[in-house]
Amino acid sequence: MAEIEDVLRVERIETDIYRGGAFESQLQRTFGGQVAGQSLVSATRTVSDEFSVHSLHGYFLRPGNPDIPAVFLVDRIRDGRSFVTRRVTGIQNGEAIFTMSASFHVTTDEGIEHQDPIPPAPAPEDLPDRQAEAGDDEKAVFKEWDNFDIRIVPADKLVTSPFLVAQQRVWFRYRKPLPDDQTIHVCTLAYMSDMTLLGSSKVPHPGVEPQSASLDHAMWFMRSFRADEWLLYDQTSPSAGAGRALTQGRIFDRAGRMVAAVTQEGLSRTGRVMPADQHARQQR
């Protein structure tokens, strides 16, 4: 797979118009994290350095074609003293495949501070590298993300709450050192956050393999972090029904700081045959 810095490198082709790269893929549709990451980079390019992104809300409108680039149109919705808002539309073949609103906040504001504590989990070094243990039907899909180290906490080591119906925890990181630029780490996490989250909705349904695809995706960024260091993705799925599943995630660094939160709704239809690559992707 391409390096994440290459994936997130967008080309300016006109004022507020950017083009992302296309990369060799085993998937039938563009990975949602790639589209979200490239959209966020495009939005960030139009914002001055005294602002940093604090939230994004995106909708996956059509399957992307991984063999061709996407063009990203940025609308400058608002430039305020404390907040900046951008809207980005990703386009392929003249059709919108993704739309995102992103909000940026000035970095000098101060206020009250609190956070939930990091939940208990085994150290990532004590868990197997799933890439090394992939079965034959997963190897092609794992190759898509061979630069990412993803380690799911097994059920017998998961400390759960009786008030949550579906729970999953995942350690992940980018395997190679990244530059110190926080924008790279934020956009890398936007890419990574689409990995494994929908899988939490399958926890109460062992043996069931629903047709799955991301429908929308929202993130909030609370504190600085490094995506090339271990992050714990604490995932839940509070509800599923009518062919859709709601999933939520909180992301902590090794020091226990909550650095981001994610909410995603995804397709969870049953009774339809899914492509082999999509089935393998859900195992992540």
Catalytic residue annotation:
194, 214, 264
One-letter amino acid for residue 177 of the chain: P
Provide the b/e sequence for 200-229 (b: ≥16 CB within 10 Å).
bbbbeeeeeebbbbbbbbbbbbbeebbbbe
- Residue pointed to by tokens 């226990």: 256
18 close to 45: Cβ distance less than 8 angstroms: yes
- If you compute the radius of gyration of the chain from its CA atoms, what whole number of angstroms results? 18
Tokens for 129, please give them. 């590298």
* Cβ count near 62 (within 10 Å): 15
